[in-house]
Amino acid sequence: MDNAIIRMQNVQKFYGDFQVLKNIDFQITKGEVVCVIGPSGSGKSTFLRCINQLESISSGLITVNNEIAGYRLRGNKLYPLSDSDVARQRRAVGMVFQRFHLFPHKTVMENIIEGPVHVQKRNPAECKQEAIELLKRVGLVNKADSYPTELSGGQQQRVAIARSLAMRPEAMLFDEPTSALDPELVGDVLSTMKDLAKSGTTMIVVTHEIGFCREVADRVIFMDHGSILASGTPEEILDNPQNERIKNFVTAVL
């Protein structure tokens, strides 16, 4: 996988004496969709947050587009990047959370163009036009002037997806994006994510939606107790798991 967009090499993460991630080795290439499954507390969210530098790793190495995340290599020594350089790196990877984190006092359009205009300093008119196209993509073009409180949870999550895409990231991270939604609202969000996957968007999705994994994932990884226990195709991991722990988990969530 020489063309990997994201690489994690022997990544470990501790909170005090508690080890959350253990020797994580992971790669994802452009256009690949990887679903991450496993029990609560297995380190899945921390895995994503370390990629996006919302959490610092304790040891190991993460690279995004062959650039070391959070550090600059001089000689044989790593030096921490400035906050502004970390922020620049972070923009290469979009992240969608369980909660939507939209600005309540801004319209849908204002939420989407906030980052491109004020952070990336792009042309406001071009950003608005791009936002309209993104809203069409997530099925909410008629909600451009609405405020978040006027939207359902599923609609807010689709706006959050459009907002992340507006930053033109190299890859998208989804941290259980449907877990906070009422069951009847889950379908529209998953449909949006399926369309993204089919369009070639590079995606890492932490989810309990096994049907989504089967339909969309190129690869499924199973995490337990901070380790990647197995990695393979949906058929290998979900339909014919060789590991008893994985077999029990898949049976329980179906």
69 within a domain of the structure (yes/no): no
pLDDT tens-digit series, residues 221-253? 999 999 999 999 999 999 999 899 999 999 988
pLDDT tens-digit series, residues 71-113? 988 888 888 999 999 998 998 999 999 888 899 999 999 999 9
CB 178 within 8 A of CB 206: no
143 within a domain of the structure (yes/no): yes
**pTM score, two decimals?**
0.94
In which region does residue 167 sit, left (phi positive, over 0), alpha (psi from -120 to 50) or beta (all else)? alpha
6 within a domain of the structure (yes/no): no
Domain, as residue range, for 141: 106-168
53 within a domain of the structure (yes/no): no
pLDDT tens-digit series, residues 4-43? 999 999 999 999 999 999 999 999 999 999 999 999 999 9
- Local confidence band at 2 (pLDDT 50, 70, 90 cut-offs): low
222 within a domain of the structure (yes/no): no
132 within a domain of the structure (yes/no): yes
Which three-class secondary structure state does DSSP give residue 230? strand
197 within a domain of the structure (yes/no): no
In total, how many domains does the chain have? 1
32 within a domain of the structure (yes/no): no
Burial class of residue 46 (count of CB atoms within 10 Å of its CB; 0-12, 13-18, 19+):
buried
